[in-house]
Amino acid sequence: MAEFTMELNDEQKEVRDWLHGFAADVIRPAAAEWDEREETPWPVIQEAAKVGIYSLDFYAQQYFDQTGLGIPMAMEELFWGDAGIALSIVGTGLAAVGVLANGTEEQIGTWVPQMYGDANDVKLAAFCSSEPDAGSDVASMRTRAVYDEAKDEWVINGTKTWATNGGIANVHVVVAVVDPELGSKGHASFIIPPNTPGLAQGQKFKKHGIRASHTAEVILDNVRVPGSCLLGGKEKLDERLARARERAKAAGGGERVKNAAMATFEASRPAVGAMAVGTARAAYEVALDYAMTREQFGRPIIDNQGVAFQLAEMRTQIDAARLLVWRASWMAINGKPFTAAEGSMSKLFASETAKKVTAQAIQILGGNGYTREYPVERMHRDSAIYTIFEGTSEIQRLVIARTLSGMSIR
């Protein structure tokens, strides 16, 4: 188990500086254009693939960093560049992690490379879990997967929403209900191969922020996939469902078993917190530079306590958010249980900090901050998503309160 540290080692610093350079030289100059176009920034993703950032190897190296700081460090630097473009670069990782965590060795070897493609033929992947009536309430999921034993195929029907890369991805990973009587314990995940009949893109959402990231509905109409596309395989699924039925029977149907999807979200939330830290830090740096160079009444505006104190508070909250993210990330990689919902704490504080800091940055820039000539306006729009996806701030508070009290607070 790696010791907890608040300092990056030499190798991590080298990676951080490399990512920062890419964010500064490639992502930032393209940010305003792709925000206005509201399209997937293929040229930037291709450039990321050429240098090795958009690749399974890079993502895996950071994911398995035993200090736990690889992923949050990478996310902070990329999202410092621009949230929308960064999400387009890292969005495939959501689906890849789903396969790495639940798939067999054969499934991992077959499908994860197809999610990324290569520098000459870039591909995308999409993770599809949320539904129009089942966002935070995963137990209300309606997408069904029914096994056709005669053909060894699964037939999937339903609608997914808020899917990053949904409909344009080469590979989709879809969560569906296989046993409705088991509620959230009766879910399973499936690979939908490229060009599978019945899968179509539904509505593409025109969003307030992260507009360079493609977000859409995914429609599944009698989608048939081979039995080999069930992540983990049929035998493993049958064993898991049998155990869930036995536990429910022993508890008279009233047992509350921790939802596997929610546990996964809890472990991944520090990464979202790191994204928020990157956006907040970017806005703070713009505001600090502006305050030191903008003059009013013959002196820089940072000479005024009203401005200087805001900047002091902004920096303090950003550093506090980063520390919460690093603590939770270290705990997750080292198997430490989140006994106080530390994962949710990190996301809650970091996401709320991003919204507050970006708003303060606009205030410091005044009228200029309200225009698209300066990036803080875009950063403020982008920051709103952190309090919504991977569990809203209200859900984070609920998770924390339930964990601390041991009570089923509603």
Q: Report the alpha-carbon distance of residue 279 to residue 56 in Å, rounded.
A: 24
Catalytic residue among 105, 377, 390, 394: 390
Q: Report the alpha-carbon distance of residue 312 to residue 323 in Å, rounded.
A: 17
**390 is known as an active-site residue:** yes
Q: Which homologous superfamily does the CATH classification assign to the domain defined by 10-121?
A: Acyl-CoA dehydrogenase/oxidase, N-terminal domain (1.10.540.10)
Higher pLDDT, 6 or 281: 281
Is 80 exceeded by the pLDDT of residue 50? yes
Residue carrying structure tokens 């970091």: 350
Q: What is the DSSP string of 161-191?
A: EEEETTTT-SEEEEEEES-GGGGGGGEEEEE
For residue 318, the SS3 value is helix
pLDDT at 303: 94
pLDDT at 256: 44
Is 60 exceeded by the pLDDT of residue 317? yes
Is 70 exceeded by the pLDDT of residue 29? yes
Is 90 exceeded by the pLDDT of residue 222? yes
Torsion of CA 382, 86, 215, 101, to 10 degrees: -120
**Tokens standing for residue 305:** 């306590």
Higher pLDDT, 407 or 193: 193
**Tokens standing for residue 107:** 């499934």
Three-state SS string across 91-122, please? CHHHHHHHHHHHCCHHHHHHHHHHHHEECCEE
pLDDT at 28: 98
pLDDT at 407: 86
Residue 217: its H or E element:
strand 215-226
Q: Residues 6 or more apart from 302 whose CB is under 8 A from it? A: 288, 291, 292, 308, 311
pLDDT at 2: 72
State the chain's mean pLDDT as an integer. Answer: 92
Residue carrying structure tokens 């994911």: 63
Q: Report the alpha-carbon distance of residue 55 to residue 75 in Å, rounded.
A: 14
Per-residue pLDDT reduced to its tens digit, 133-174: 876 667 789 999 999 999 999 999 999 999 999 999 999 999
Average pLDDT over residues 14-35: 98
Contact present, 365 and 377 (Cβ < 8 Å) = no
Q: Rounded to 5, what percent of the chain is helix, strand, coil? A: 60, 15, 25
Q: How many CA atoms lie within 13 A of 157 on its CB side?
A: 5
Q: Residues 6 or more apart from 280 whose CB is under 8 A from it? A: 314, 317, 318, 321, 350, 353, 354, 357, 358, 383
pLDDT at 253: 47
Average pLDDT over residues 32-60: 95
pLDDT at 247: 81
CA dihedral for 263, 265, 268, 272, sign (positive or negative): negative
Which residues are registered as beta bridge partners of 296?
A: 299
Which range is most confident: 221-225, 236-240, 395-399? 221-225
Per-residue pLDDT reduced to its tens digit, 300-311: 999 999 999 999
Q: Report the alpha-carbon distance of residue 52 to residue 164 in Å, rounded.
A: 21
Per-residue pLDDT reduced to its tens digit, 104-137: 999 999 999 999 999 999 999 999 999 998 766 6
AA identity, residue 228: S
Q: Check residue 409 and report its DSSP letter.
A: -
Contact present, 174 and 160 (Cβ < 8 Å) = yes
Q: Residue 260: pLDDT band by 50, 70, 90 thresholds? A: very low
Contact present, 79 and 274 (Cβ < 8 Å) = yes
pLDDT at 258: 46
The phi and psi torsions of 66 (rounded to 5 degrees) equal -70, -15
Instruction: Give residue limits of the domains in the chain.
Output: 10-121, 125-250, 260-405
CATH top-level class for 125-250? mainly beta
Q: Report the alpha-carbon distance of residue 226 to residue 242 in Å, rounded.
A: 22
Per-residue pLDDT reduced to its tens digit, 355-395: 999 999 999 999 999 999 999 999 999 999 999 988 899 99
Contact present, 241 and 179 (Cβ < 8 Å) = yes
Q: For 258-282, give one letter per residue: b (16+ CB within 10 A) or e.
A: ebeeeeebbbbbbbbbbbbbbbbbb
CATH top-level class for 260-405? mainly alpha
**Tokens standing for residue 129:** 């879990």
pLDDT at 251: 65
Q: Report the alpha-carbon distance of residue 295 to residue 121 in Å, rounded.
A: 50
For residue 34, the SS3 value is helix
How many C-beta atoms surround the C-beta of residue 316 within 10 A?
11
Is 80 exceeded by the pLDDT of residue 315? yes
